[in-house]
Amino acid sequence: MLGGYNTHPFWQLYGNLSVMSLVIEHIIVHSLFGDEQGRVQLATREQELSANPAVQQLMAELHHIYNTKAGKVFGYFNEEETGFRDLVRRMQDQSLTFAGFSHLAAERLLAELNRLEMSEQGVLLFVRYQWLGADYLLIALLDNKDSVTVTEKLEVSQASYLDLGKMQLAARLDLTELQTRSESRRYFSFIKGRAGRKVSDFFLNFLSCVEGMDPKAQSQGLLKAVDEYCEARQLSGEEKLASKAQVHKYCREQLNQGEELELRELSAELGTDDDLDFYQFVSEEYQLEDKFPVERSALKGLTKFVGSGGGLTISFEQKLLGERIQYDAATDTLTIKGVPPNLKSQLVGK
């Protein structure tokens, strides 16, 4: 049973737009559960769900949560193991119904779980949908939680709901990119949830997928490119801070909207130089994708200096260096003027 699902504060602003823009083509759910012997079993639904208003809202929220989830990994089909890709092809050429595709895919996932003696359980959702002109296949394993609620008659009753914010595992295949850019190394994306590194043991095998583009490496490369671009333009310290702040602002906005960074857009945000355009600069010197998701944790490197070691952690705004904070490289000494009040009170108390 699907039960209800958690809603989030974003819904009032985001939900109506999502329902209008997101078109569900096929959707079905199955269940992975443990038997008395501790092995995972599969219960399948025969018919697809109808895309009623409740299902539309569920999918709009799932889509938003997936888009804004940090730490996604990207990949592409493994040429040596084509099991899942063959299922996708059969679904696309309609030699398999969507329900039939989901049954075979669910059985494939179950086999991987049992082969590795893993006990992942929950509601297994398969959905094919369109969003802003792109065609997606989303597969998610969702927690089905039991709780209590107060009814309209003020009776306390048991209730079941989907905990969407804690997806255990989810993967999305961009069918449009697969069709138009089959050489891409990022038409698959997935999140790992509590399964952590074990995802490589069974989820990638289930998807016939290997890891491709690394968003963390791309984000670190972006920070290096911004630093060296500012140096190449011989910007003053103040101009450099302003440029980094502009990059930080753009990246934050993209993250909050669930969108990826686009180098051409970022270049336009930074403005153009008669001799040196940011997009041209990174195209010549760096191996950055034209479009990639920024790692939120990397953004602080644009505006802050951060370091830790030996029991010491220091973080401060880059603009403070040379003003309230001085660094003497000869003595390897950092001098801070104006200690934060909450830190000062702790120091004085000692």
Domain boundaries, the chain: 4-213, 216-303, 304-349
Which has the closest alpha carbon to 130: 63, 46, 221, 58? 63
Condensed to tens digits (0 to 9), the pLDDT of residues 61-87 reads: 999 888 888 778 888 998 888 899 999
Q: Is the pLDDT of residue 46 over 50?
A: yes
Q: What pLDDT score does 7 carry?
A: 42
Q: Is the dihedral of CA 337, 341, 347, 350 positive or negative?
A: positive
Q: Is the pLDDT of residue 185 over 50?
A: yes
What is the C-alpha to C-alpha distance for residues 112 and 197, in angstroms, rounded to an integer?
15
Q: Which helix (H) or strand (E) holds 243?
A: helix 237-256
Condensed to tens digits (0 to 9), the pLDDT of residues 253-286 reads: 888 887 888 999 999 888 766 667 888 888 877 8
Q: What is the mean pLDDT of residues 233-240?
A: 87
What is the C-alpha to C-alpha distance for residues 225 and 280, in angstroms, rounded to an integer?
11
Which has the closest alpha carbon to 189: 241, 247, 140? 140
Measure Cα distances from 147 to 4, 34, 158 in Å: 11, 20, 6
What is the C-alpha to C-alpha distance for residues 306 and 223, in angstroms, rounded to an integer?
14
* Three-state SS annotation for 154-169: CCEEEEEEEEHHHCCE
| Whether 40 contacts 32, CB under 8 Å | yes
Q: What pLDDT score does 20 carry?
A: 58
Q: Please report which confidence band the pLDDT of residue 192 belongs to, taking 50, 70 and 90 as the band edges.
A: low
- Which pTM does this prediction carry? 0.70
Orientation angle between helical segments 278-285 and 215-232, nearest 10 degrees: 120
Question: Which range scores top for mean pLDDT: 124-138, 200-214, 260-274?
Answer: 124-138
Which has the closest alpha carbon to 101: 58, 48, 43? 48
Q: Is the pLDDT of residue 340 over 70?
A: yes
Token pair of 285 as six digits:
């010197």
Q: What pLDDT score does 168 carry?
A: 66
